[in-house]
Structure 1
Amino acid sequence: MNIYAIADLHLSSDGSKSMEKFGWTDHENKIWQDWNNKVQDDDIVIIAGDISWALKLDDGLKDLEKIANQKGKKILIKGNHDFWWISIKKLENFNENMFFIQNNIYETNDYVFCGTRGWTCPNSEHFSEQDKKLYEREVIRLQTAISLAKSTQKEIILILHYPPTNEKKERSKFVDLIEENNIKTVIYGHLHGSQSFDLSYKEMVNNVHYHLVSCDYLNFKLKKIF
């Protein structure tokens, strides 16, 4: 079993949103082609948020079906643009090979997957009182998710959408929780464009391996985690 990850697919089956203006030429086909070249049925693919541009679940189902048709078991987490994701109950039975992370965990023989969306961290540019409320709420959600995962006594793979620090790479409560709980693998996306890719942790920091998996950072290819 291999574990891969990617984020920010920004699918738009109805054609209402195009990523061409950002230079993402034919990006969906590039992702699916690489996926088919790498992934086998017993592999896992983590999708770390911003899955579809759809605003309503009915519209997002076509994008989810595209993912369901790919090989492997998929583990998905909500991003800041996933407005279609309003109820975990409506997603739980969508497809037997798709698992949606929200106040729950997913286990294999060796690993347990958990996470939350995350949010903009303090001292970020334009950080507001509303951001502070959302940040504190996500910290609580992350703490709950980690506690649930630790009960399995398996190695934790932590999935976020937002980076766990600000553009100054200062510590946050997310980072504190990661290090306090001896988590070694963190996957996140959200950052786009070459000027933003170095604004958060990448590779090893304090014995934690942070994986930035925004699809444009990966040149629209899946990253092998394990």
Structure 2
Amino acid sequence: MSIFTIADLHLALGIDKPMDVFGGRWSNYMEKLKDNWISNVSEKDTVIIPGDVSWATYIDSAYEDFRFIEDLPGKKVISKGNHDYWWTTSSKLNKYLTENNFSTISFMHNNAFELEGVGVCGTRGWKGPGEDDFKKDDEKIYKREIERLELSVKAALKLELSRMLVFMHYPPVTVKSPMTGFIDIMRKYEIKECYYGHLHGEGIKGAIEGEYEGINLKLVSSDYLNFKPFKII
């Protein structure tokens, strides 16, 4: 019974959205993902997917993508990414799972999970204040996402577990934003591990990994992992 993670599946089974325009690594990416997942993940395992799951705009248009995920081995915990336009309220998301008999999928949104004696929490995140394209409108979203992270961490703390894992879609820190509220929250609650996605192609070169302010950071975007879920435990 293991815990894996992989972000940025960018599934497009219900719409025409070719990803190979973002580089040759994305050629036949859904087939690569399926083969690697089946080869490494068992029905007893859980895979955390921190954002950018489907290119669908509305939840009903995402059915084929969710069916694809449902049919893969193991349980899946999904959190929001910046391209998950289909994302709606927690009640509507859970109703959608029930109506379609998607029994292996759960959503992480202001909540937390206990998996294999480990606390799992997180949020989407947002670009940091030091980024060139950080505008006035971003400030509100940035602060709200910091609040969401703290809500999720507090939910995990109630589980009283010795190990805590944070999952974010956006990187919690970048070269241009060397300190963010996300890092502050993790330091405040002594979180030691954070897994994130969002970065692709040339952006991967700027990823910060390894120990940072006492937190072990790991990039898990699907193209960076060559579409193979990363085993944490």
- State the 1:124 CA deviation: 0.6
The answer to whether residue 89 in structure 2 is matched with residue 92 in structure 1 is: no
The answer to whether residue 190 in structure 2 is matched with residue 190 in structure 1 is: no
- State the 1:169 CA deviation: 5.2
Greater than 3 Å deviation, 4+ residue runs: none
The 2-side partners of 1:48 and 1:215 are apart by 11
CA contact (8 A) 1:192 1:217 kept: yes
Structure 1 SS opposite 2:206: coil
Identity among equivalent positions (%) equals 38
- State the 1:109 CA deviation: 4.3
Match of 1:161 in 2: 169
Structure 1 SS opposite 2:225: coil
Structure 2 SS opposite 1:198: helix
The 2-side partners of 1:166 and 1:116 are apart by 17
Q: What do the CA deviations read for 1:172-213 (whole angstroms, capped 9, x no partner)?
A: 1100111121111111100111x2113232122233221111
CA contact (8 A) 2:166 2:193 kept: yes
The 2-side partners of 1:82 and 1:132 are apart by 20
Q: Going by fraction, where is helix more abundant, 1 or 2?
A: 2
Question: Structure 1 stretches of 5 or more lacking a match?
Answer: none
Q: TM-score w.r.t. structure 2 length?
A: 0.92
Match of 1:203 in 2: 210
Match of 1:67 among 69, 72, 79: 69
Question: Structure 2 stretches of 5 or more lacking a match?
Answer: none
Q: What do the CA deviations read for 1:62-84 (whole angstroms, capped 9, x no partner)?
A: 10110010001101101010011
Match of 2:14 in 1: 14
Structure 2 SS opposite 1:183: coil
Match of 1:42 in 2: 44
Structure 1 SS opposite 2:5: strand
Structure 1 SS opposite 2:91: helix
Aligned residues: 225
The 1-side partners of 2:115 and 2:17 are apart by 36
Instruction: Spell out the pairing of 1:108-127 with structure 2 (5 A cutoff).
Output: 108-127=115-134
The 2-side partners of 1:50 and 1:109 are apart by 25
CA contact (8 A) 1:5 1:213 kept: yes
- State the 1:91 CA deviation: 2.3
Q: What do the CA deviations read for 1:126-182 (whole angstroms, capped 9, x no partner)?
A: 210111111011111111111111111112211110000133351111001111211
Root-mean-square deviation (CA), in Å?
1.3
Q: TM-score w.r.t. structure 1 length?
A: 0.95
